[in-house]
């Protein structure tokens, strides 16, 4: 299958009190078009950093990142920005909705940034919101919504631009178990019904079972001998893998 995102021997170092510390060490992975990949690991294991590097929001200390077939290191900053806008939709743990904008305006924001005029796309955006169970909420502002509704708005915003890859950073971390399940079902439908590729990072085994493949990131390293694959993946399988890795 054609690959939408790839990393090769990726390293990221941070300097802490004058000492260089490795956040990521030798990460090599690929995500194919239409594939749902989950990376699990505890807090501080480098999961969010990896998403930032793959999207081009940050640059690696060493190694290579390819996004949509293009090597990010060979692109000028404005070219990386344009490639990211065309290729990546982002779903965040903390929603990142603008509080003074309505639901419809928040969802149309990527179109406005791209200069495509979201008002011309209003019918499509309303249909997208309806598909995500948000019909009637178009003129609401974020503080009028529940946490689950705000995360669904975040997903709608990520889908609005039609990007083929969704990067999902702990998308259920601030939600109840019921709302989190609904969000993961929505994300799975993005893969099954629209053919989007998803790269999810989480520490939640209940989220991981929705993926096609589950990889484990421990102390900045992807475990070479542990990978789970669906369909039929169970929460118990994920717990067993986490236990074997002492996570």
> Residue 171 to residues 57, 93, 119, 120, 186: CA-CA distances in angstroms?
18, 4, 28, 29, 11
Helix (H/G/I), strand (E/B), else coil: 156: helix
Would you state the pLDDT for residue 65? 96
Q: How far is CA 170 from CA 26, 86, 112, 167, in A?
A: 23, 22, 26, 10
118 confidence band (pLDDT: 50, 70, 90): low
* Residue that has been written with the tokens 């495509």 in this structure: 116
Residue 136 lies in a domain: no
Is residue 216 one of the residues assigned to a domain?
A: yes
Which one, of 177, 166, 172, 122, lies nearest residue 152 by Cα? 172
Is 37 part of any domain? Answer: yes
Q: What is the pLDDT of residue 117?
A: 64
pTM of the model: 0.89
Which residue range is the domain that position 37 belongs to? 3-99+157-244
Count the domains in the chain.
Answer: 1
For residues 140-160, average pLDDT: 90
> Quick check: 99 and 153 in contact, CB under 8 A?
no
Which CATH number fits the domain that encloses residue 223? 3.40.50.300
Q: Is 70 exceeded by the pLDDT of residue 236?
A: yes
Confidence of residue 85 (pLDDT cuts 50, 70, 90): confident
Residue 121 in any domain: the answer is no
Q: Is residue 104, in this structure, part of any structural domain at all?
A: no
Q: What digits encode the pLDDT tens for the residues 177-227?
A: 888 898 899 899 889 988 999 999 998 999 999 999 999 998 889 986 678
Q: 42 in a domain, yes or no?
A: yes
In a domain, 180, yes or no: yes
């Amino acid at each position: 299958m054609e690959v939408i995102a790839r990393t090769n021997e990726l390293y990221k170092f941070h300097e802490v009190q004058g000492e260089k510390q490795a956040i990521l060490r030798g990460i090599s992975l690929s995500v194919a078009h239409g594939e749902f990949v989950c990376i699990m690991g505890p807090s501080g294991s480098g999961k969010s950093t990896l998403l930032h590097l793959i999207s081009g929001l940050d640059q690696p200390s060493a190694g290579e990142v390819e996004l949509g077939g293009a090597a990010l290191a060979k692109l000028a900053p404005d070219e990386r920005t344009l490639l990211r806008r065309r290729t990546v939709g982002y779903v965040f743990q903390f929603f990142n909705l603008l509080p003074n904008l309505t639901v419809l305006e928040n969802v149309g924001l990527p179109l406005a940034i791209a200069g495509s005029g979201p008002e011309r796309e209003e019918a499509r955006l309303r249909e997208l919101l309806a598909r995500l169970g948000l019909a009637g909420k178009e003129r609401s502002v974020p503080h009028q919504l529940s946490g689950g509704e705000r995360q669904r708005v975040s997903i709608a915003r990520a889908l609005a631009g039609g990007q083929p890859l969704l990067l999902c950073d702990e998308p259920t971390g601030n939600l109840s178990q019921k709302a989190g399940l609904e969000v993961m079902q929505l994300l799975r439908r993005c893969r099954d019904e629209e053919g989007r590729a998803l790269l999810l990072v989480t520490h939640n085994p209940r989220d991981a079972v929705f993926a096609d493949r589950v990889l484990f990131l421990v102390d900045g390293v992807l475990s070479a001998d542990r990978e789970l694959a669906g369909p039929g993946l169970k929460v118990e399988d994920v717990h067993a893998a986490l236990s074997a890795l002492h996570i």
